[in-house]
Each structure stands twice: as structure tokens, then as C-alpha cells.
Amino acid sequence: MSTDDDDGLPEIDLGTQAQSLIDAGHDESQTAMMSEAVILVDDEDRVIGAESKLEVHRGEGKLHRAFSVLLYDMEGRLLLQRRALNKITFPGIWANSCCSHPLYIANEMELEGDLGVIRAAVRKLGQELGIPPSQIPISSFETLGRFQYLARMNDDWAERELDHVIVIQSDVDLEINANEVHEVAWVGKDEFADWCAATKQRGERFAPWFDGICDLFIDKCWPDSHSRGEYDPLIHQLGDLSPAPNSSQVPYSGAEDILPALEQHRAEVEARIIVALSHDIDSILNQAMMHLINSGGKRMRATLPIIVAQAVGSVNPGLYDVGAAIEIIHNFTLVHDDIMDEDDVRRGRPAVHIAFDRATAINAGDAMLAVGFEVLAKSEDIEQSYLQELVLTLSSMVRRVAEGQQRDIGFESRADAVSEAEYLEMIEGKTAVMFETCGRVGALLSGAEPEIVEIMTHWGLAVGMCFQLMDDLIDVCSDSQTTGKPSGSDVAQGKRTLMVIHALSQEDQPAKQALLAALGKGDAASEDSVNAAIAGLAELGSIDHARALAESYHAEAHRCLDALSQNSGVDTLRELTDFQLSRIS
């Protein structure tokens, strides 16, 4: 062990392992911190040695000392952070204000009053969030207690920690280190539950250790808690908090559990996306291309090929490259869609053309399309025999998306009525073809027989049709906090959804007039008029009509899965299929 780094912190030489992590696409700064010497402990929190941060997080992990800080401002709001997308373990998930490790060095190993842990916390609060030590004096911290847990991210990485929970209340200045922290939020006690629910609804997840903190300590951490400052001497044993099971474990039991299945592969795909979009190019263009990627999302299309492959054949790393290519291309279509549809918000954040400008957004979208195909061409894990069909399949997908989008644009200005058949043809191109492509390429690269490839192609199409119909329903049936845009915005924009087409085909009546009063009025449509239009859609039976069709595609997708040999991977696909019908809050 040495202390040769710039900060005089203890390190353990990783040898060639460091370069292997970088070659695998991991961030160089994050890789460098993997050499830090953390403190190995036994179940009683007694020091038994030192090991690199890399080794304690590999495989099943090794028990080591950690800390979790809960930082409140003087208004009583809790600071939460979303971990950077380039973190090696648990990237992109929400956690407490700061969580890390004291190191194997004298001043961070002192247990009296948890002084070592607090000193480490001050160091990391400065390194991650830029908080000056003067604003977080050691004397202001309180210790709450400890717990032990295991949380596997996947077969390669895990957290096995004895976590010290400490609290501080102070007004602080933040200078966020983007290499460590993706975003932050200040959340008050009264809004905490609703904020967490809305965050999960967006497909974003919470660190398993933060779930443990919430179960054990959060109620007495708030500044107005009567039990604040009471130290719990018990080391709570929370067992395995892993957010996603390994393939050998029992399959997920409900549709709501599909998100952990996606999360299991998300980090690998996102690492490839970040590498692909972060070449030495103009920084503004790079920021514009990363804007939507940094906005989060479930990465359903990105992870779907490998989930399909697990169900019908064998998996290989090339599936992550295919998923990254599809996700980048998908985000290219979203950037251009927002410009064409004049949508200012995407995933609860300003759209790219709002955050930057229209020209930059168009340019970023064009570049992302090219990068998507570059990912395929550069992959060392995709067999050459598959490459031509992959390129043809994805290029056909892009063309059909453009055709679908053009039909959608034309529908808004058409004088004559749009038929339901035309609408279904439009959403097949605009949305469903991406799911169809994911099902096809996942089965193809898994080595499945041709008939299975065709079954999964049809399954993806049915799931995609269900997905778009449910998206239309979500626009009128969910609140703006859930959707990230005003409820009924499709109605105000004049979009010819299946519900609107059905309603316009009905005889003239007050409910239909309420719809027409808001349809296509844009910003001129008041909230009351949009709400009245939505009530009109319900009264005319149009919402039930759209839901019934969504359910028919849902049933068709299950019929495809019935034709497969049943296994836990197929069970996961069933849950994903069911998830489409569970997205309305």
C-alpha cells in the first residue's frame, strides 16, 4: 500500500486491472479512485485490514466500512443526489446527500465519536459537491447508527458495507463535480414521499442502501424530529438488498418488478453510450447530444435486445452495443420530434432545442444518427455475419420512424377525417417499429432459430403498439408530474390520437364540442378547456375504446410468448408486456 496520489490518500496498486477497466469503457477518473485503500471490517465493525476499492466491490464484495451523509439546509430540506452516469457501481441512481468510504489512514479510522467517518465525509462532500469545510464543521455532525447490507448490481459488482449514518444541518454552497454527481434535489419532509413516488414513476431508481436508511433512520433524521440525535448502538443486519436478481434466482413476481430487470443491464449500455457520444468534438455539440441521455429514462429499448436474448438463446456483449446504438438513434428521433411538435419539455427537463437552440438541436440529432451506426461498425463483439442484416434492420427502422412522423404531422392539418387504420399505420412506424427491431435483433444475435426470430419480431411489434396506445392514454389520464408535460398536451396540439379519431366520428353533442373547443388550440387552450375536452373523451367512450385496443395488442404479445419454450427469461418478457398496461398512475 502507498500514499503516492496527489492528495496523500492511501492507495493499493491495481496493476493491469486499471487499464482493463478503461478498455471496458469505464471513466478514467472513476477508475483511478478504484485504487483507494478502504477499511475491511468484521461483523462487529472491527478493523481487519485494507483492500482496494476495486476488490471490495467485485463479485460478492468484501465487507468494508462506509458512510452515508444526510445533509439538511436550515429550511429543513434534505439534499439528495443522483449518482453520475459514469460511476462504475450503481450509476445514475438516486441516493442520500453523500455516500462513500473512510480510507485506511489514521485520521479516518478513529471510531471515537465516529470522528474518522466524519472526517471522510467532509472530504467527500468537498470532492463531490464542492462544499467548503468551513460550512460543515466536524462538530456539527451527529451520528445516528449503523447497518450492514449486501447489494449486487450485477454478477461483476456489489456493495457489501457496514454503513455509518451521519446527519448535519447547514446552509451550504454547492459546486457540483459532474464526474461524481449527475444532479441534485432539495426535498422537504412534507413532499418527500410524493417526490420519491414521482421519481420512481419516471423510471429512475434509488440506491438500495438509501432504501435501508429510509426504513431505519429517515423518520428521526428530519430536523424537527423529537428523536433527532439519539444514537442507536445496534448494528442492523439488513441482508441482501440487491435491486435485481441474478438469472439463477426466482423470477420477478409482478409487472412493477420489470424496472430492476432493465436496471441490471442499464449501466453496461450507458457506459457504451457515453463513450460513443464523448469523442473529441465541439463541447456544445457534445453537451447537446448528451442532454437527453443525461435526463434519465428507463433505457427500455436499449436493454430490450439482451432481455430478449436471455429468453430465447445465448447472450454476448455485442447486444450491449446494439442496445446503445438503438438508444442513441431513439434519442435522435426525440430531439427532432420535439422540434417538429414544438414541445418544450422532455422527461421533465427543457427539450434540447430549448436548452440550447434550434440549430444546435438539429445538428445534435443528425450527429447522433451517425454515431448510432458507428457503434455497430466499431463493435468488436458483433459477428461480421450479422452486421449487414443489423445495418439494414436499423436503417429500415429509421426510415419507418420518419415515415410515421411525417404521417403524424400531416394528420394535424388534414381537412378530411383520419381513419383508425391510418392512425395504426402511423404509430407502427413512429413508435412500434423500434420495439419490433429490438425483438428481432435480440433474437437474431442470440442465435435463435429463424422461426423464433419471427415470433420475437411480432412480439416486439405488438408490445410497441400497446406502448404507444398507452402513451396516448397517459397524456389524458395522468397528471403533469407523472408525464413531465402538461396533461392533455396532445389534445391542445391537435394530435389525432385514436381517442380523438374515435370521438370525432361520433354524432355532434356537447362532449364532442368540448373536445373541439380545445383541440389544436395550442397555448390558447386554457387548462379548464383541456380538462373539459378530456372529460368529453371519457363521456364519448373514446378513452375506453383506446384502452380496449391496447389490451388486444397486449394479449397478442402474450400469445407470441406462449409459442416459446418457457423459462425465467420468458417470464421477464411477460412482465415487460404487462408493464405496458400498468403505466397510468
Question: What's the 3-state SS for 467-533?
Answer: HHHHHHHHHHHCCHHHHCCCCCHHHHHCCCCHHHHHHHCCCCCHHHHHHHHHCCCHHHCCHHHHHHH
Residues 129 and 173 in one domain: yes
Q: 535-538: which pairs have CB atoms within 8 A and are 24 or more residues apart?
A: 535/511, 536/503, 536/510, 536/511, 536/512, 537/476, 537/491, 537/499, 537/500, 537/503, 537/511
The pLDDT assigned to 582 comes to: 63
Please give the pLDDT value at position 562.
93
pTM check: above 0.85: no
Q: Whole-angstrom Cα distance, residue 125 to residue 110?
A: 19
250 in a domain, yes or no? no
Percent of the chain with pLDDT over 70: 90
Q: What is the pLDDT of residue 373?
A: 94
Let me know if residue 494 belongs to a domain.
Answer: no
Write out the residue range of the structural domain in which residue 406 sits.
Answer: 256-474+560-582
Could you write out the DSSP letters of every residue in 350-366?
Answer: E-HHHHS-HHHHHHHHH
Q: Amino acid letter at 514? A: A
310 with 419, same domain?
Answer: yes
For 200, the grid coordinates are 420512481
pLDDT in tens, 191-201: 998 888 888 77
Mean pLDDT of the chain: 86
Number of compact structural domains in the chain: 2
Residue from 206, 212, 117, 125 nearest 164 by CA: 117
Domain-located, residue 469:
yes
Q: Model confidence over 445-471: pLDDT tens digits?
A: 999 999 999 999 999 999 999 999 998
Q: Of 212, 240, 268, which residue is a domain's last?
A: 240
Residue 246 reports pLDDT greater than 70:
no
- Quote the cell numbers at residue 406: 411525417
Give every CB contact of residue 250 below 8 A, 6+ residues apart in sequence. Answer: none
Domain shared by 291 and 337, yes or no: yes
Residue range 62-89, pLDDT digits in tens: 999 999 999 999 999 999 999 988 888 8
Rounded to whole angstroms, the Cα distance separating 379 from 377 reads 6
CB atoms within 10 A of CB 514: 22
Q: Between these two residues, 345 and 557, which has the higher pLDDT value?
A: 557
Domain-embedded: residue 222: yes
**Residue range 325-339, pLDDT digits in tens:** 999 999 899 899 888
Residue 7 clears pLDDT 70, i.e. is over it? no
Q: How confident is residue 247, by pLDDT bands cut at 50, 70 and 90?
A: very low
Domain stop point among 240, 271, 286:
240
Structural domain ending residue among the three candidates 179, 208, 240: 240
Q: Are residues 64 and 194 in the same domain?
A: yes
Per-residue burial over 436-445, b if 16 or more Cβ lie within 10 Å, else e, is bbbbbbbbbb
User: What is the pLDDT, as a whole number, of residue 479?
Assistant: 56
Residue 210 placed within a domain: yes
Pair 233, 362 in one domain: no
